[in-house]
Structure 1
Amino acid sequence: MDGQRAREAEDGWPRGDRRLRRAWRGPWADEEPRRRRLPWRSTVLVTAFALTGSRFAAHAQHGDRAALDPLAWALLAGAGAVLLWRRSHPVAVVAGTAAATLLYLAAGYPFGPVFLPVAVASFHAVVAGHRRAAWAAVGILWAGQLLLAHWLYRWLPPAGDGAPPWEQQAVTATWAVAVLALAELARVRREQWARERAERAEAARRRADRERLRIARELHDVLAHSISVINVQAGMGLALLDTDPEQTRAALTTIRAMSKEALGEVRQVLGTLRAPGDAPRAPAPGLDRLPELVEQAAAAGLTVEVEGEPPRLSPGTGLAAFRIVQEALTNVVRHSGSRRARVRFGRDGGTLRLRVDDDGPATGAEAGGSGHGLAGMRERAAALGGTIEAGPRPDGGFRVLAELPVTAVVPAAAEEEER
């Protein structure tokens, strides 16, 4: 473990973020374990092509250029061999290939595929991000061979050599620019791939965060309500254990029913963690289960009066409205001295106005609770484009007022929650 932490601290990336690290490094970073292996196959292929092509070029240019000797073969082989390190040391490789090629041309050896190693090294240097080094090496090579071909040829082998036509220099410059332009396109595409991968990784992280928040919110709503009712019934049962066995039996029956229901809802919430694509085992609760909330509150000693008719809502809005009422009644049971609460439904155009009142006063903890439940209610309302107002009333007690759009377009986060 200590060695792993040391490696993570050394490269600055935690072990769990390797995908994001590879995304920023580009598509070739998927081969990171293989970077330590030298690219033998491609290097041998390029070197063999340069050697064979130069041999044929020497036959075609016999008498016009100097014959290939051990130095020429060493320069050709050396320019190809250094390509083995083009991934780990791109700047040194492009400089080395350019220098070997310039020495080859200065010795008067035949023209041919001697420029291929420089092209390969320049391509890799540009794609790796060393653009200035690649352009500088190619520019120095072109300027050097231009100087050799049109001025220094008088003092260099082969004897009697003349200056080549300027059209040939233009063709050489065109090929050099074409290779570098292709490398620039590859570099841009690589950076685009990196951005896309990073965006996908960030989107996956946001989806995971939303899912964790949703599960935590659901568990809070389910457990807070059920455990509050169980706590009240357990206290009542203990108080009446010796004096009223029948009432104690009723309290235990309520505890059993509430614990069974809580376990079922917890299983439903945690069921979202199973393999993707599975269908949910039970539909999400909605306002059609409001009578159950009223009965559960009555079992906890709280009388709930419902004013207005609960409207028909979409699954996402219905779930949010149900959880808001559930959390509000749970706070009344836990934090209010009042044994009566009022739930009122109203409609203002396309907006559902949901209000939960109790007459207080607060007992023990603050009337609003610890704040986690209110935060969950606000998040639910905000996900649908609605609002939540919660706080003490001027005449005492506590009020929760929610405004939810009835026919709003469900955003992505709420749509996932519906599913």
Structure 2
Amino acid sequence: MHTTGRGTALARAAADLLIGLTLAAALLFTAAALAASWGGLSWLPGLIAGTIVGAFALLRRRDRFGTALAGLGVAAVAVVVAWLADLPAEPAPAVSLALAVLVASAIRTLPTRRAAVVAGGGLAVVAGSWLAAVPFVPEATVIPTVSAATWLAAVAAGLGGRLLVARREAAVERVRRDERLAVARELHDVVAHHITGMVVQAQAAQIVAARGPDEAARVAESLAGIEAAGSEALTSLRRVVGLLRDADDASPVAPGPESLSTLVSRFGDRGPEVRLRLPDDRPAWPAEVTTAVYRVVQESLTNITRHAPQARTVTVDVRRVPEGLTVEVSDDAPHAGARAADAIDTLDTGGGYGLIGMRERVVSLGGTLRAGPRPDVGWTVLAMLPLTVGNPTAGEHR
């Protein structure tokens, strides 16, 4: 970071040195030419105006708006004085060059309104230079033409720099937004799943404890399950926080496909029976796909715990298909209108984040997600994931 800062400072100093040397050369050349052609002290007003505006150009970073307005004001006064006193036309090339630096810098960095004011001020100076050149003979229009050309070049350079800055900021914002979404999904996945399990275990412990003191062993078992789920939640949170802090020793967040067996076993200990079917080519899955498969199954099981307590069996079926992988999680809970409506609303309108997070994760990999009731009983979540991760395509859901 410090090296980058020093590099930027050196680049700015080199640019200012180049501008200063160019302005000095232009001032000396113009003064010598006027002394040879006009004689006397005709060169002095232009030299003074050019020196002042050039100084403002070199000090522009301290107050881009103020120095730009001051430079334009000096140039405007020089145009009027030269016209009234019948002196060589202004703004001279050196003044025009210094104004171009001020105008381009202001347009590139200032807010839109202030940048427009500076650009308009430059146009006013150009217009005044042309008005002072009346009658329009070839000799009288040279200076106004140079002034107009430098103003146009300054506006173009300023707008070009402004566009580049805007594009860079938009790219940075897209990266930040994607990172925030990824962290939000990861936090939701690791927290909601474990906390849901803890809530279910706590509710079971309360029910068992109400039956009498003879159920102490089962209460202790539920409490042990709560402790285990809490420990897993803390471990997952530390892993995500470690990534946020960019810690070198942060453990990987992406769970491999082998973790599905552990996930299903843990779910089966406190919920309905789960039947897991996996393909044989799991080691070939890309890391993004393995994470997506795990999270889809995890969120689907969490939703079953929340919304389908009557389910007796759950099927988790991961299959290899020509398009990639399909992940299907189905339960046999009786149909409930409220559950179907709530889940579809969650997916479509943002009433919750579980299905939304699943869909965003799948679509970002170029896959599709569908969630809805089965024809007879139960509910199905079906995700299709390509094994070749490329440009995302529009996902669909029903």
Gaps of 5+ in 2: 1-11, 13-18, 57-65, 105-117, 347-351, 393-398
Deviation at 1:363, TM superposition (A): 7.1
Aligned to 1:4: none
Aligned to 1:115: 92
Equivalent residue in structure 1 for 2:84, among 100, 103, 108: 103
Deviation at 1:91, TM superposition (A): 5.3
Aligned to 2:6: none
Deviation at 1:54, TM superposition (A): 5.7
Deviation at 1:261, TM superposition (A): 0.7
- The SS at the match of 1:356 is strand
Aligned to 2:145: 177
> Is the contact between residue 350 and residue 405 of structure 1 (CA under 8 Å) also seen in structure 2?
yes
Aligned to 1:150: none
Distance 1:407 1:55 in 2: 70
Q: Structure 1's 247 and 240: CA in aligned 2 closer, same or farther, altered over 3 A? A: same
Deviation at 1:264, TM superposition (A): 0.7
Deviation at 1:320, TM superposition (A): 0.6
Deviation at 1:314, TM superposition (A): 0.7
Task: Say whether residues 1:134 and 2:134 are aligned partners.
Answer: no
Measured against aligned partners, the alpha-carbon deviations of 1:250-302 in whole angstroms (never above 9, x if no partner) come to: 222221111111111111122232148x4642351132101111121122122
Equivalent residue in structure 2 for 1:317, among 289, 305, 308: 289
Aligned to 1:9: none
Deviation at 1:46, TM superposition (A): 8.0
- The SS at the match of 2:214 is coil
Higher relative contact order (CA 8 A, sep 6+): 1
- The SS at the match of 1:282 is coil
Q: Structure 1's 143 and 86: CA in aligned 2 closer, same or farther, altered over 3 A? A: farther
Distance 1:138 1:317 in 2: 67
TM-score, normalised relative to structure 2: 0.71
Aligned to 1:188: 156
Task: Say whether residues 1:251 and 2:204 are aligned partners.
Answer: no
- The SS at the match of 1:401 is strand
Measured against aligned partners, the alpha-carbon deviations of 1:33-86 in whole angstroms (never above 9, x if no partner) come to: xxxxxxxxx99x989x9799869965x56xx86x559xx978975787688676
Aligned to 1:406: 387
Deviation at 1:96, TM superposition (A): 2.0
Measured against aligned partners, the alpha-carbon deviations of 1:383-414 in whole angstroms (never above 9, x if no partner) come to: 00101110111202111111111123276xxx
- The SS at the match of 2:275 is strand
Aligned to 1:281: 251
Aligned to 2:395: none
Aligned to 1:347: 320
> Is the contact between residue 360 and residue 397 of structure 1 (CA under 8 Å) also seen in structure 2?
yes
- The SS at the match of 2:92 is helix
Aligned to 1:374: 355
Q: Structure 1's 283 and 188: CA in aligned 2 closer, same or farther, altered over 3 A? A: same
| Superposition CA RMSD, Å | 4.0
Gaps of 5+ in 1: 1-30, 32-41, 148-165, 412-419
- The SS at the match of 2:258 is helix
Q: Structure 1's 76 and 311: CA in aligned 2 closer, same or farther, altered over 3 A? A: closer
Q: Structure 1's 297 and 112: CA in aligned 2 closer, same or farther, altered over 3 A? A: closer
Equivalent residue in structure 2 for 1:240, among 192, 208, 232: 208
